[in-house]
Chain A
Amino acid sequence: EAQVTQNPRYLITVTGKKLTVTCSQNMNHEYMSWYRQDPGLGLRQIYYSMNVEVTDKGDVPEGYKVSRKEKRNFPLILESPSPNQTSLYFCASSPDRARLTQPQHFGDGTRLSIL
């Protein structure tokens, strides 16, 4: 089954404790992306990756890091989480590269609470 898998689905942690949210897709997609969803703000892009070792900032990259060492995986790293990063996070992938013509496949979301 084609899917995007995020882990963990839920996490409560404390300020400053490094965490990683994993994202893996089994569709051999080149494009992957991270979004955060906040009330009243919709989904905003954090980082995206066009291919292995090719990443770029989205609209709200501050406080986040990503890596793309393999095509299937695109982890989101919070080196020193802060309460303003409490949010619902989505990973997505797409078969497209330069032009997003196809719908993105989304993971089920990760709800992070930073105390």
Chain B
Amino acid sequence: AQKVTQAQTEISVVEKEDVTLDCVYETRDTTYYLFWYKQPPSGELVFLIRRNSFDEQNEISGRYSWNFQKSTSSFNFTITASQVVDSAVYFCALSEASMNTGFQKLVFGTGTRLLVSP
């Protein structure tokens, strides 16, 4: 079965610390897509990044960076110099094919709550 594991339930850091959120996935597909979403305390889901299985280049966007390693089936997310506004729940997700129809669906990890204190 395809699944996404976010082993860190909650992480607490102090502002300006770097923090890495782990995401490990399982899939038998050779082509797949991975996503990260942020859910701030207000509750909405905010898309952060998409990565396809053929693109293993790491990506940096401001203080955010992502490390995709196919060999270890991981897609980790690092926040550099964390800020209080980074406090949120972060979800990793994998697109997979439905066993019933073959159509794709999104499977989410259980999320990591990040608390950044001043």
Contact = CB atoms under 8 A, between A and B. Distances in A.
Given A106-B45, A109-B43, A98 B110 contact: no
Interface string A29-71: 0000101000011111100101000001110000000000000
Given A42-B110, A109-B44, 7 more contacts: A45-B106, A45-B107, A90-B45, A99-B104, A100-B104, A104-B106, A108-B44
B interface bracket (residues with beta carbon within 8 Å of A): 20 to 34
Contact of B98 (A56, A88, A97, A104): A56
A63 to B, nearest CB: 19
Contact of A42 (B52, B95, B109): B109
Contacts of B111: 42
A50 B110 contact: no
B105 A48 contact: yes
Contacts of A56: 98, 100-101, 103
Contact of B35 (A57, A58, A103, A109): A103
A interface bracket (residues with beta carbon within 8 Å of B): 20 to 34
17 contacts: A35-B108, A40-B9, A42-B6, A42-B108, A56-B103, A57-B100, A58-B105, A88-B43, A100-B95, A101-B50, A102-B50, A103-B35, A106-B45, A108-B44, A109-B43, A109-B44, A109-B45
Contacts of A108: 43-44
B50 A99 contact: no
Contacts of B102: 98
B104 A98 contact: yes
Contact of B106 (A41, A98, A100): A100
